[in-house]
Chain A
Amino acid sequence: MSQGTRHGLVRLVAGFAIWSIAFIVLYAAQALGCAYGWGAWHRPVLIVIYLFALAPLIWLSTRPRPDGTDAILPTAARWANRAALLASVLVFLPVTFASLCA
Chain B
Amino acid sequence: MAPRFKTLALGATPLLLAGCSGELSTLDPAGPRAANLAVLWWVMLAGSVLLFAIVMVLFALAYLRTAWVTRITPAQWIIGGGLVLPIPVLVLLTGTALVLGEQLLPRGNAPIRIEAHAERWLWTFTYPDGHAVPDQTLHMPAGQPVDIVVTAEDVIHAFWVPRLGGKIDAIPGHTNVVRLEADKPGVYWGQCAEYCGEGHDGMQFRVEAHTTEEFAALMQGASH
A99–B87 CA distance with the chains assembled, in angstroms: 24
- The number of chain B residues touching the other chain, given as a range, is under 10
> Does B198 reach chain A (CB closer than 8 Å)?
no
Interface of chain B, main secondary structure: helix
A86 and chain B: residue at smallest CB distance: B87
> Does A102 reach chain B (CB closer than 8 Å)?
yes
> Does A1 reach chain B (CB closer than 8 Å)?
no
Bits for A47-67, please: 1 = Cβ < 8 Å to B, else 0. 000000000000000000000
- Docked-complex contact A98 and B98, CB < 8 angstroms: yes
- Docked-complex contact B105 and A102, CB < 8 angstroms: yes
B91 smallest CB distance to A (angstroms): 7
Chain A residues with CB below 8 A from B105, complex form: 99, 102
- Docked-complex contact B102 and A99, CB < 8 angstroms: yes
- Docked-complex contact B98 and A102, CB < 8 angstroms: no
> Does B184 reach chain A (CB closer than 8 Å)?
no
Question: CB within 8 Å of A: which residues of B?
Answer: 87, 91, 94, 98, 102, 105-107
Mind listing 13 A-B residue pairs with CB under 8 Å? A86-B87, A90-B91, A90-B94, A94-B98, A97-B98, A97-B102, A98-B102, A99-B102, A99-B105, A99-B107, A102-B105, A102-B106, A102-B107
Question: CB within 8 Å of B: which residues of A?
Answer: 86, 90, 94, 97-99, 102
